[in-house]
Chain A
Amino acid sequence: MTTLSATRPEALPLRCRQCKADFPAAPTAICEECLGPLEPVYDADRTLPDAATIARRAPSLWRYREWLPLRGEIVHSPDTGFTPLIDAPRLADRLGVGRAWLKNDAVCHPSLSFKDRVVAAAINAAAAFGLDTIGCASTGNLANAVAAQAARAGLAAWIFIPEDLELAKVVGTAVYRPNLVRVRGTYDDVNRLCAQVADHFGWGLVNLNLRSYYGEGSKTMAFEIAEQLGWRQPTAVIAPMAGGSLVTKLARGFREFREAGLVSGDPPRIYGAQATGCAPIVRLVERGDGQLVPEQPRTIARSIAIGNPADGGYAAETIRGSGGWAAAVSDPELVQGIRTLAEETGVFTETAGGVTVAAAFALAAAGHFRTTDELVLCITGNGLKTIEALGGVLPDAPVINARLREVKELVRAATPALDPIGTP
């Protein structure tokens, strides 16, 4: 277990991704000069660990601390990350690729989604700045992650969500007793409100004014994939897209490990997945014109239903620059994606994961994958959070009396060609 420190960590200074202006460390994510996004600046001369050193560290995302935006010992969420990388040979066969793995953040600690990673980074940045209240605008998974990690840290939390979120995501937030606010409208409406909230109150809103630090947590998914593959890169990675940050951070994570000499070879091709009812980044990739057109979300994949994705332009650039592509799938297709993943791999994912799986099949059918590909599917959330998506599509379980005869009848009906129990 990573040891928690009594002293605060120190956050790294920031630099504008667009105009390269430098700023001291602060809970701000926007360049005062050009309004471009700010990113942490790492000391190029810092000492980096080798593979053996990393492998000896505790199994959490903090084993990659030299690539995370805090100096000194972290004080919150020491156990997040290092989720399983699951071999999926039957899925590989069906997709027509050489190998396939799931990066299973459906079991990420503590709130069962990839968002635990980014909040772990942000909540320690909040500690660095001495903030006693954190919060977020959320489509659900981030709300769960902020509420859980704030509760453990003993911080107050203000969490804003669209009013019509799935029940499990509301309950999975409210149980930690944050200040939970349901806003009439879409996530984009919540986001607009929270931009003003962040301006007005001195809170650390993890995906607003702490976004520069928050986003760095996403890179750890790439670091873990590389380590769990035996310090090498896959040839292709597919991930769901909401704001678009994850695909950019996956590419950056692999790049940083190449630069550190921990892996070698060509960068993986990056593929993005969205639901047809909210696919502004997919359409941007397809058009290639650099002009994101916002959309009004209409999909059951609410966790990725962001019509005005802040990192959409960067995501499209990353995907096209990597030689990858993007695909959008319908709601029925994403539900089938959830079922296929469960039946072929034993992993139950939420709607965003269903989008990822269904998009992988769409991309395979369109000839984007090779028979030699080693493909990682990023499964970013747990199926128990969106059980409404499966309403009416799974077969009803038969109800029987406690009689062996009735079980025999069921078995005979289920396997008509066999009679394994010798019934007369």
Chain B
Amino acid sequence: MPVTLTLPAVLSKLADGSREIASAGQTVGEVINDIARRYPRLSPRLKDEQGAPYPFITIYLNDEDIRLKGGFAAAVRDGDELTVVPAIAGG
């Protein structure tokens, strides 16, 4: 079972309209790199020029912000869900 990346609507048009993309890899970074390679227009909205997470999004691995789990180095397993969320105001 692959890892699934869910995109917000604002990014899905950069992935040929896909809201959910299946991928595989050992780490979040490997999954992101695979998806970035397949969808080049999406790539600069997932990672910056240095290859780090793009600053205006937060990526969750299941229920946790990846920045609390080692960032792109966080390990993933089959069945994991990655969710890309734009930054949000307070409440």
| Chain A residues close to B by CB (< 8 Å) | 18, 28-30, 32, 34-37, 136-139, 141-143, 185, 187-192, 194-196, 199, 207-208, 211, 214-215, 242-246, 293-294, 296, 304, 306-311, 313
Contacts and interface: CB of A to CB of B under 8 A. Distances in A.
A35 B90 contact: no
Given A191-B91, A308-B65, A32 B85 contact: no
B84 to A, nearest CB: 9
Contact of A294 (B11, B54, B55, B67): B67
A243 B89 contact: yes
B86 interface: yes
Interface core residue of B10, B83, B90 (most chain A CB under 10 Å)? B90
Contacts of B87: 35, 37, 310
Contacts of A141: 91
Given A35-B86, A191-B91, A199-B8, A18 B68 contact: no
B91 A35 contact: no
Contact of B89 (A18, A143, A192, A207): A207
B89 A189 contact: no
Given A194-B88, A243-B89, A310-B90, A35 B58 contact: no
A283 B85 CA distance: 23
Interface in B37-91: 45, 54-58, 60, 63, 65, 67-68, 83, 85-91
Nearest to A188: B65
B9 interface: yes
Contacts of A310: 87-90
Interface in B1-54: 6, 8-11, 45, 54
Contact of B90 (A18, A189, A245, A294): A245
B91 A142 contact: yes
Contacts of B90: 139, 142, 207, 242-246, 304, 306, 309-311
Contacts of B91: 136-139, 141-143, 187, 190-191, 207, 242-243, 306
Contacts of A243: 88-91
Contact of A207 (B58, B68, B86, B88): B88
Given A30-B10, A293-B67, 16 more contacts: A29-B89, A30-B86, A35-B56, A36-B56, A139-B90, A187-B91, A191-B85, A194-B88, A199-B9, A207-B91, A208-B88, A211-B88, A215-B89, A245-B89, A310-B87, A311-B89
A33 to B, nearest CB: 9
Nearest to B8: A199
**Most A CB within 10 A of own CB, among B86, B89, B91:** B91
A244 B58 CA distance: 16
A215 B58 CA distance: 20
Contacts of A29: 86, 89
B46 to A, nearest CB: 10
Given A242-B90, A245-B89, A35 B68 contact: no
Contacts of A36: 56
Q: What secondary structure prevails in chain B residues at the interface with A?
A: mixed
Contacts of A196: 6, 8, 83, 85
A214 B56 contact: no
A142 B67 CA distance: 27
B83 A192 contact: yes
A48 to B, nearest CB: 27
Contacts of B8: 30, 195-196, 199
5 contacts: A30-B10, A35-B57, A192-B58, A308-B65, A310-B90
A37 B89 CA distance: 10
Nearest to A161: B91
A214 B89 contact: yes
Given A185-B63, A199-B9, A294-B67, A34 B56 contact: yes
Contacts of A192: 58, 60, 83, 85
Nearest to A136: B91
Contacts of A306: 90-91
A28 B11 CA distance: 13
Contacts of A32: 10
A259 B59 CA distance: 39
Nearest to A186: B63
A308 B58 contact: yes
Contact of A35 (B45, B60, B65, B67): B45
A194 B58 CA distance: 14
A245 B87 CA distance: 12
A139 B55 CA distance: 24
Contacts of A30: 8, 10, 56, 86
